[in-house]
Homo-oligomer: A and B are copies of this chain.
């Protein structure tokens, strides 16, 4: 099969490698119909050292079940399915509590080989979600966002307990930030301030429900949001992951409010003391999104056209064009690239 491999920073290649095969009776093999490139794929694209053997890449995909192991009961060959970016049993204590990204099953993990024609899916019953067969291709981009970015934006808003009348600030205008805007809107936020600097993206953010856009960063951005909100936003959804975004979140959150992070932190320590979080009773939460838990809630709005999260895809490429898609996303020329097979 054709698959994407990374050999070092900036070095992405598409090669023909061996097809994956069932390794356990709980596995399935999926023939990928749509995959994509994630903002988080750019972290290794910037940072990994050169290596002799390429590493497969990608964690978002939907496709057709090619083969299901003998213990797989919820999907069968021929089914259209979307996978969460983590593979989990969906039955353990943590999965039942809605924290699928802390599943205690030994085979729990995150996909890392989904930018390819075929994907082996561990724990298929807990990971694959059967989609209606007759959705038509126009809905596939939106359905693919259930694999990660829509569920992750929704996790940010759910963890922040966004509710009617809230003022919400979203930090970051990447796909997750924009879908956090959409999610906050769905959960009833009254005012949604999107902090981002790329007009094409913030325009989509306005379409998704942002009522205000703040392009300024740092102290200037903090002062603006505090002024707009009369002292800070009730809920701050942080969809970047760099330390300045954390500091911005602390600066713009209202006393008693919540900072919900879904941007993977690229830092370890940060202020949590009296003047940052404690003194004002700020809650800090978030983490890797248990997107499998949210598909039931989010799918109907996609199917009936209420929402179109697939608008975050602004370029479609073939598998052989994936290296250029990485470059284009890294250059901020493209928001999110869809891979069509």
Residues of A at the B interface (CB closer than 8 Å) are 94, 97-99, 101-102, 104, 159, 231, 246, 255-256, 261, 264-265, 267-288, 290
Contacts and interface: CB of A to CB of B under 8 A. Distances in A.
B288 A256 contact: no
A316 to B, nearest CB: 32
A255 B125 CA distance: 22
Contacts of A97: 256
Contact of A287 (B231, B277, B285, B287): B277
A138 to B, nearest CB: 34
Given A268-B272, A278-B288, 18 more contacts: A94-B255, A99-B256, A99-B280, A99-B281, A101-B281, A102-B256, A261-B278, A265-B273, A265-B278, A268-B271, A272-B284, A278-B287, A280-B287, A281-B285, A281-B287, A282-B287, A284-B284, A285-B285
Contacts of A290: 281
A261 B290 CA distance: 26
Contacts of A283: 159, 283-285
Nearest to A99: B256
A278 to B, nearest CB: 5
Nearest to A265: B273
A88 to B, nearest CB: 12
A283 B281 CA distance: 13
B281 A102 contact: yes
Contacts of A268: 271-273, 275-276
Find the residue from A246, A272, A279, A280 having the highest chain B CB count within 10 A.
A272
Nearest to A263: B278
Given A273-B268, A274-B264, A278-B265, A94 B256 contact: yes
Contacts of A286: 278, 281
A255 B285 contact: no
A270 B271 CA distance: 6
B276 A287 contact: no
Contacts of A94: 255-256
Contacts of A104: 231
B288 A281 contact: yes
Contact of A102 (B159, B255, B271): B255
A242 to B, nearest CB: 12
Contacts of A276: 268
Contact of A284 (B246, B264, B277, B280): B277
